[in-house]
């Protein structure tokens, strides 16, 4: 066996040069891999004894893409383009044998081979769009030639991988094999013995010709993804590359791809999205954990409460194959809750994402009881009852009396003090907050709230279970509203204040929407319901909200709130009466109204969040700034191409944010705007959050 680099070796087995890549954890295309591949293929081509070349990876996966850590670093090793050309132009068959995930530059490398085989669990994708990029090693030109234009557009603009069956059907792979190396070798020998012509994807134009028959293909595709990709630059660049594939030569297509790739790579969006990629992975890591800490195995989960939240939480575990028992004191809410879960699954089945059998399997893992003590042997209990401290404490005291030792006792509270909840038990070290976001079966974020006494074992096991059920978890300490809602409250305060001084709710909402959030604060209030925490009996019209609720404008559910909602389309439109009410309040408060620029609205809405984020860091509520960004991107739809509020502050310049906070403080005469001590300190040191 010849070692080509420290990441790649080669062995000749019966006339086949077997090139093995070994670059854990995901066999990224680091310099050593690229150089090794180039050397291996070049040597194998020159060796007369070699009849075919087989490329495979050791470890858990085929090449999962370019090495993202190398982006922005000075170039080293053989460029990927040269590797790909060398493979494609090899005069002997080159075959990739694929397992795990062939992603990004990995799939592009595989597409430069003449043949591809894979085990049936393998996945294939071009996820560059998730990093604000496009496939930059020929993927935009080769994939449409293999799977067809529309399918390729879908794969590249969503970044989502496809399975081996799809790959076989579309020609992305030639064969499914049982054993990676044995199967790959057998296939290579077959190709040689049959004298099969080498397939160069670059020369296959049939699927492009087919696509040319539909002149509306690109327009329709653009429309179909417009809502999902609003604000993102990479999807449009990908579409343009594919348009090139239909209208230009392969080499010119590659040229266009390279130019657009470089443009995206040097832009702010990709920088934010690459930062975010690592932020999400970092968020799962708890600092200073003992290495030998053992984990609690969660094989059975109990959920208290069959409402929207309880049912949604249950679905996460059922989807991951973990049995769940839901409890309520009476049967009626259980039946209702079960009905909702089933309906949700059936809707997913109609959308084609799961089969009828999957629905039955998942429902089969769900049991119910009206006797809470039946949950005694669960490994984890999640309480999802009404958000009230006394009720929660009662539930935890009861759990403490019968739950088996070693079970995680979790609360789904979104605001309340986990320490106080834990104090109702004699085992506070087993108590933790698991704040799922609504709808709990859809939203990816899980805020894991560590109480003062929560043990490291419970915390780390909760992070592991979060990963197992497909959530992105971030740890928060105890404070009112934890990371996300605490920061949201600050945006709320200023948004409410602004409308008495100048802009109307729809002006604020428009600016926030254009910034990239799914909706602004007033539309969000309408969605949540204006009457949360409002009491009809005691309401005295003291706030705009009181007045609206008194008029039965309680938000989307009553067809009107800050906005009017079309009963059919649910489209919102501003209501003159709301404007009148706001103007009356302004006058009563003695406010002089003035014009606000969109920039000022944006700053007044987002800078208080950044300031609060800094306080959250100061108090040790969050381990790191990037965890806060993970919360905001996944829990509230902060546009990932702006990285999250803390990354956004750094991208503006923390000194500029700090100066603006001081200007607002002076203008308003309000200490609300006083920059957090941490911001002052970082600015004085010439640093940003990224340097913490």
**What does the binding site for ligand 3HC look like in residue numbers (CB under 6 A)?**
25-26, 28, 64-69, 80, 101, 103-105, 108, 127-128, 131, 133, 135-137, 139, 278, 281
Could you give the CA distance from residue 272 to residue 262 in angstroms, rounded to a whole number?
A: 15
Nearer to ligand 3HC, 75 or 195 (CB): 75
Look up 663 and say whether it is catalytic: no
List the beta bridge partners of residue 381. 302, 409
What is the C-alpha separation between 492 and 423, in angstroms, rounded? 31
Candidates 39, 88, 108, 612; catalytic one? 108
Q: What is the 3-state secondary structure (H, E, C) of 51-87?
A: CEEEEEECCCCCCCCECHHHCCCCCCCCCHHHHHHHH
- Minimum Å gap between C-beta 106 and ligand 3HC is 7
Please answer whether residues 90 and 226 qualify as being in contact, where contact means their C-beta atoms are separated by less than 8 angstroms: no
Alpha helices in 320-388 (DSSP H): 331-350, 356-364
Closest approach of Cβ 35 to ligand 3HC, in Å?
16
Which tokens hold the place of 306?
Answer: 């069959």
Q: Which is nearer to ligand 3HC, 71 or 386 (CB)?
A: 71
- Considering the complex, state which of residue 3 and residue 467 has its C-beta at the smaller distance from ligand 3HC: 467
**Considering only CA atoms, which of 9, 15, 178, 19 is closest in space to residue 95?**
19
SS3 473: strand
Burial of 386 per CB tally in 10 Å (0-12, 13-18, 19+): exposed
Run of H or E residues at 574 = strand 572-574
Cis status, amide bond into 241, omega within 30 of 0 = no
> Read out DSSP for 385-417?
--S-HHHHHHHHHHHHHHSPTT-EEEE--SSS-
Q: How far is the CB of 435 from ligand 3HC (least distance, A)?
A: 22
Q: What is the largest CA-CA distance in the chain?
A: 92
CA distance 319 to 365: 9
d(CA 679, CA 314): 40
Q: Are 309 and 436 in contact (CB under 8 A)?
A: yes
Cβ proximity to ligand 3HC: between 64 and 241 the closer is: 64
Quick one: 84 or 582, whose CB is closer to ligand 3HC?
A: 84
CB 174 to ligand 3HC: min, Å: 22
Q: In angstroms, rounded to a whole number, what is the distance separating the alpha carbons of residues 371 and 47?
A: 74
Cβ at position 568, least distance to ligand 3HC in Å: 41
Strand pairing partners for 450? 432
Provide the minimum distance between the beta carbon of 471 and ligand 3HC in the complex, in angstroms, as a whole number: 12
State the catalytic residue, choosing from 39, 128, 447, 612: 128
- Closest CB to ligand 3HC among 96 and 411? 96
Q: Least distance from C-beta 281 to ligand 3HC, angstroms?
A: 4
Of residues 28 and 601, the one with the C-beta less far from ligand 3HC:
28
Closest CA to 435 of 422, 427, 444, 426: 444
Smallest distance from ligand 3HC to CB 630, Å: 13
Q: Is the CB of 67 or the CB of 88 nearer to ligand 3HC?
A: 67
Nearest to 380 by CA among 319, 323, 309, 331: 323
Smallest gap from Cβ 221 to ligand 3HC, in A, equals 21
Give the residue from 420, 578, 597 showing the smallest Cα distance to 507: 597
Contacts of 267 (CB under 8 A, 6+ apart): 132, 233
Cβ neighbors of 348 (< 8 A, separation 6 or more) are 354, 359
Question: Which is nearer to ligand 3HC, 126 or 682 (by Cβ)?
Answer: 126
Euclidean distance between CA atoms 234 and 284, whole angstroms: 27
Active site residue 108: yes
Nearer to ligand 3HC, 69 or 228 (CB): 69
Q: How far is the CB of 331 from ligand 3HC (least distance, A)?
A: 40
260 versus 392: smaller Cβ distance to ligand 3HC: 260
Beginning with the edge strand found earlier in the chain, give each strand of the sheet holding 2-5 in spatial order. Answer: 2-5, 8-13, 16-21, 52-57, 94-98, 115-118, 175-176
**How many C-beta neighbours within 10 Å does residue 343 have?**
11
The least CB distance from residue 144 to ligand 3HC, in Å, is 15
Instruction: With CA atoms as reference, report the closest residue to 407 among 461, 355, 464, 365.
Output: 461
Supply the residues annotated as catalytic. Answer: 108, 128
């Amino acid at each position: 066996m010849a070692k080509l680099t420290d990441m790649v070796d080669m062995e000749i087995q019966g006339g086949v040069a077997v090139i093995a890549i070994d670059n854990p954890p995901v066999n990224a295309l680091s310099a050593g891999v690229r150089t090794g591949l180039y050397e291996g293929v070049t040597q194998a081509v020159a060796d007369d004894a070699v009849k075919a070349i087989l490329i495979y990876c050791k470890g858990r996966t085929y090449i999962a893409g370019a090495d993202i850590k190398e982006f922005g670093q000075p170039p080293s090793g053989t460029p990927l383009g040269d590797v790909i050309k060398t493979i494609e132009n090899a005069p002997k068959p080159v075959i990739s044998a694929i397992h795990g995930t062939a992603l990004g530059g990995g799939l592009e490398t595989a597409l430069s081979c003449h043949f591809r085989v894979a085990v049936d669990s393998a996945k294939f994708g071009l996820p560059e769009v998730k990093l604000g990029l496009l496939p930059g090693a020929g993927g935009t030109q080769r994939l449409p030639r293999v799977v067809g234009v529309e399918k390729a557009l879908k794969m590249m603009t969503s970044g989502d991988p496809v399975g081996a069956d799809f790959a076989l059907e579309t020609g992305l792979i030639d064969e499914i094999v049982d054993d990676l190396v044995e199967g790959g070798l057998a296939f290579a020998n077959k190709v040689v013995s049959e004298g099969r012509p080498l397939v160069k994807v670059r020369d296959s134009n049939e699927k492009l010709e087919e696509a040319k028959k539909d002149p509306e293909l690109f327009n329709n595709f653009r429309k179909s993804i417009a809502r999902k990709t609003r604000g993102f630059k990479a999807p449009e660049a990908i579409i343009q590359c594919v348009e090139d594939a239909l209208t230009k030569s392969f080499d010119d297509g590659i040229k266009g791809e390279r130019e657009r790739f470089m443009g995206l790579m040097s832009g702010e969006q990709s920088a934010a999205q690459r930062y975010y990629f690592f932020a999400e992975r970092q968020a799962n890591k708890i600092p200073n954990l003992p290495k030998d800490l053992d984990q609690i195995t969660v094989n059975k989960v109990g959920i208290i409460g069959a409402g929207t939240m309880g049912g949604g939480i249950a679905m996460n575990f059922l989807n991951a194959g973990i049995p769940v028992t839901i409890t309520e004191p009476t049967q009626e809410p259980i039946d209702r809750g079960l009905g909702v879960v089933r309906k949700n699954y059936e809707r997913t089945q109609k959308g084609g994402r799961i089969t009828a059998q999957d629905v039955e399997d998942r429902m089969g893992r769900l049991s119910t009881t009206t006797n809470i003590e039946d949950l005694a042997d669960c490994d984890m209990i999640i309480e999802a009852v009404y958000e009230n401290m006394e009720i929660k404490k009662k539930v935890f005291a009861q759990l403490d009396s019968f739950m088996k030792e070693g079970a995680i006792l979790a609360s789904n509270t979104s605001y309340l003090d986990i320490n106080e909840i834990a104090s109702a038990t004699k085992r506070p070290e087993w108590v933790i907050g698991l704040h799922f976001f609504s709808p709990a079966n859809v939203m990816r974020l899980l805020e894991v709230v560590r109480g003062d006494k929560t043990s490291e074992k419970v915390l780390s096991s909760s992070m592991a279970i979060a990963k197992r059920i497909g959530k992105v978890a971030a740890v928060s300490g105890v404070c009112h509203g934890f990371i996300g809602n605490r920061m949201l409250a600050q945006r709320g305060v200023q948004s409410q204040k602004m409308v008495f001084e100048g802009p109307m709710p729809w002006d604020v909402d428009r600016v926030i929407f254009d910034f990239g959030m799914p909706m602004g604060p007033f539309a969000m209030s309408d969605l949540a319901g204006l009457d949360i925490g409002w009491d009809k009996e005691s309401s005295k019209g003291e706030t705009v909200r009181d007045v609206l609720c008194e008029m039965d404008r309680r938000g989307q559910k009553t067809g009107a709130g800050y906005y009017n909602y079309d009963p059919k389309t649910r489209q919102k439109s501003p209501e003159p009466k709301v404007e009148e009410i706001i103007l009356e309040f302004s006058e009563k408060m003695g406010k002089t109204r003035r014009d606000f620029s969109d920039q000022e609205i944006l700053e007044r809405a987002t800078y208080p969040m950044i300031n609060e984020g800094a306080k959250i860091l100061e108090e040790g509520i969050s381990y790191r700034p990037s965890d806060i960004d993970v919360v905001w991107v996944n829990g509230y739809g902060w546009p990932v191409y702006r990285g999250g509020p803390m990354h956004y502050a750094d991208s503006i310049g923390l000194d500029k944010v700090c100066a603006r906070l001081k200007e607002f403080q002076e203008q308003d005469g309000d200490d609300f705007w006083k920059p957090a001590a941490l911001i002052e300190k970082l600015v004085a040191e010439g640093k940003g959050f990224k340097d913490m």
